[in-house]
């Protein structure tokens, strides 16, 4: 259970380019907590004209985060980690995956075809 007494903000992981740019330009927004009762935590939005909102205190304390349906935001008690994109697989890794997926090695035909397509598209992209 999170220590709400020392919490001054509710945090939101927000993608600054969610509508038009490359996915993953993450920022952490801090929404100040203005009041706490036994049932609710009241806060003001750091964006959008500083409107007020509230969340269920028991649920956010139990889970550490809550989905605020009115604004379609996921709010956290602790500052969340900024996600990173996984590194693309190398050609050697893709070739090994293709070999493991081969039907002669216990894989399925569909899995092998999918692995081969990934390998061939990565090889074509690298040669350009």
How far, in Å, are 8, 58, 59 from residue 36 at the CA level? 11, 11, 14
Domain count, the chain: 2
35 and 62 fall within a common domain = yes
9 and 72 fall within a common domain = yes
Q: Could you tell me if 71 and 8 are in contact, meaning their C-beta atoms sit under 8 angstroms apart? A: no
How many residues belong to the chain? 128
pLDDT (tens digit per residue) in 85-128 = 777 889 999 999 999 999 999 999 999 999 999 999 999 988 87
* DSSP helix/strand/coil, 90: coil
Q: Is the pTM of this model over 0.85?
A: no
pLDDT (tens digit per residue) in 30-40 = 999 999 999 99
Assigned domain for 114 exists: yes
32 and 69 fall within a common domain = yes
64 and 121 fall within a common domain = no
Assigned domain for 30 exists: yes
Range of the domain at 16: 4-76
């Amino acid at each position: 259970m999170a220590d709400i007494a020392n919490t001054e903000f509710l945090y939101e992981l927000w993608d600054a380019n969610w509508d038009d740019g490359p996915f993953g330009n993450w920022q952490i927004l801090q929404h100040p907590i203005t009041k706490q009762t036994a049932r609710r935590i009241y806060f003001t939005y750091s964006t959008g004209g500083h409107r007020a909102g509230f969340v269920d205190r028991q649920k956010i304390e139990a889970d550490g985060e809550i989905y605020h349906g009115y604004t379609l935001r996921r709010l956290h008690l602790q500052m969340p980690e900024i996600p990173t994109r996984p590194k693309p697989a190398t050609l050697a890794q893709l070739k090994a995956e293709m070999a493991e997926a081969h039907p002669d090695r216990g894989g399925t035909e569909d899995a092998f075809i999918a692995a081969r397509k990934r390998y061939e598209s990565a090889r074509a992209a690298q040669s350009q």
